[in-house]
Amino acid sequence: MAERVAILLAAGVSSRMNTQLPKVLHEVTGRPMLAYVLDACRSVGTDKIYVVVGFGADQVKERFSGASDIVWVEQAEQKGTAHAVGCCREHLKDFRGQTLVLCGDGPLIRAKTLQTLIDKHEAEHSAATLATAVLEDPTGYGRIVRDAYGNIQGIVEDSDCSPAQKAIREVNPSYYLFHNQALFAALEQVKPDNVKGEYYLTDALSVLIATGHKVVAITAVRPEEAMGVNSRAQLSVASKIMQQRIQQEMMENGVTIVDPDNTWIDARAQIGQDTVIEPFTYIHGPIRIGRGCRIGPFAYLRDDTVIENDVVLGVFTEVKDVTLADGVRARHHSYLGDAVIGRNVNIGAGSITANFDGKTISRTTVGDDCYIGSGTVLIAPLVLQAGAHVGAGTVVSQEDVDKLTEEQERR
């Protein structure tokens, strides 16, 4: 197998997003856009990933600080995609393997498509291979120009297209695979001879073709995968497409989602077989839900919550950073935050954990087989022993529990 690295372009400023946050950090179903591109690269066996950053570089680095396979490359001045790739020259000047070049703002990328690109590149022994898409509306994309035999002759950016070229529907969604040495040799000959006065990576392909190298284009990118995110509206569209993917996979794995259009599930969530997700449920964060649960309608799950098996969370129930053991029932209008709830505990309607006193967040522990009556307030920090029975409308503090324990011991 050939050695393979990736270069991800993540330095640009998005004026259309109207944001102070680096574009690649905007989230799609709970994860930064860049995270999806990184995952796709890792899935096809990249040894190192060179991420080119510029605007908000420190924020991007901090968000992915735990990744040992990332090499950060700074592009101090944005002069185009070829210039961005060229910033990696010192790192890769002696590398003789394959180099993927992708955009960091394409969260809908799939590893399967990258593998198709790699297979084609290796089968053709080409200097460069790109994966293309065919779109109903190609506006904004570089057009693929082919000869009468179907061989690629180059890519013309949308702003440089003639009227005839604008009618071409095969586009360049920026999925590239190069022989690394050919790539950097071609970059040396790229000139900013275009409307924007930028150094285009697409011109490196023209250089390779003109100098007799083999360049291949395979139509392998689905229309949805071709979409980069350049506006808040496109971010919303990408999130909806990703949500459909997430829910489809979960349903294939045995989860019932009653109304997918009115359910939102974070990309980091895990849900077990035969669990039912009722309408208007919002699951946000790395939530884990076990088997045979029923969640919702109108439930809100967030912040590292773990739900084990056969748990029922009903209408207008919110949980945050909670572990709920097997058999817990919290059917109506409850809030459980920063708590561990034991097996077979019943949480009555309107009961809450009061976990924040204005300064400190504290935790509540409820033992197995407890009964918590309707309208109960459990004031943290609090530990309720197994089998405790709390009547409806009770306000319980640790001081109350300790006093009751002392009385029972005196008796």
pLDDT of 376 reads: 97
**78 to 7, 81, 227, 266: CA distances (angstroms):** 16, 8, 22, 33
187 inside domain: yes
- Using CA atoms in the order 181, 185, 188, 191, what is the torsion angle rounded to 10 degrees? -110
> For residue 148, which phi and psi values (nearest 5 degrees)?
-65, -20
Domain annotation covers residue 128: yes
Of the three residues 197, 219, 241, the one that is the final residue of a domain is: 219
Where does the pLDDT of residue 175 fall: very low under 50, low under 70, confident under 90, or very high at 90 and above? very high
The answer to the question of whether 75 is labelled as a binding residue is yes
Shared-domain flag, residues 46 and 170: yes
Residue 314: CATH number of its domain: 2.160.10.10
230 known member of a binding site? yes
- In which band, very low, low, confident or very high, does the pLDDT at 228 lie, cut at 50, 70 and 90? confident
What pTM value is reported for the model? 0.92
pLDDT tens digits for 284-325? 999 999 999 999 999 999 999 999 999 999 999 999 999 999
User: 324 lies in a domain?
Assistant: yes
**Options 83, 284, 332, 333, the catalytic residue:** 332
pLDDT at 404 over 90: no
Number of domains in the chain: 2
Same-domain pairing of 347 and 294: yes
SS3 257: strand
Query: How confident is residue 12, by pLDDT bands cut at 50, 70 and 90?
Result: confident
pLDDT in tens, 65-106: 999 999 999 998 889 999 999 999 999 999 999 999 999 999
Looking at residue 146, which CATH number applies to its domain? 3.90.550.10
18 is in an annotated binding site: no
Residue 234 falls inside a structural domain: no
* Closest residue by Cα to residue 199 from 57, 77, 92, 24: 77
pLDDT tier for residue 157 given thresholds of 50, 70 and 90: confident
Q: Are residues 57 and 118 in the same domain?
A: yes
Average pLDDT over the chain, rounded to an integer? 95
Q: Is the pLDDT of residue 409 over 80?
A: no
With a cut of 80, say whether residue 114 has pLDDT above it: yes
Asked if the structure places residue 65 within a domain, the reply is yes
Residue 2 has pLDDT above 90, yes or no: no
Answer whether residue 411 shows pLDDT above 70. Answer: no
Span 230-252, mean pLDDT? 96
For residues 207-213, average pLDDT: 95
Least confident piece of the model among 10-24, 210-224, 251-265, 342-356: 10-24
Q: Pick the more confident residue, 117 or 403.
A: 117
Residue 46 domain boundaries: 4-219
Residue 332 is among the residues annotated as catalytic for this protein: yes
Q: Both 212 and 154 in a single domain?
A: yes
CB atoms within 10 A of CB 148: 5
**Per-residue confidence (pLDDT) for residue 77, from 0 to 100:** 87
My answer on whether 215 and 259 are in the same domain is: no
Tell whether residue 275 is among the known ligand binding residues.
Answer: no
CA atoms within 13 A on the CB side of 10: 36
The verdict on whether residue 81 carries a ligand-binding annotation is yes
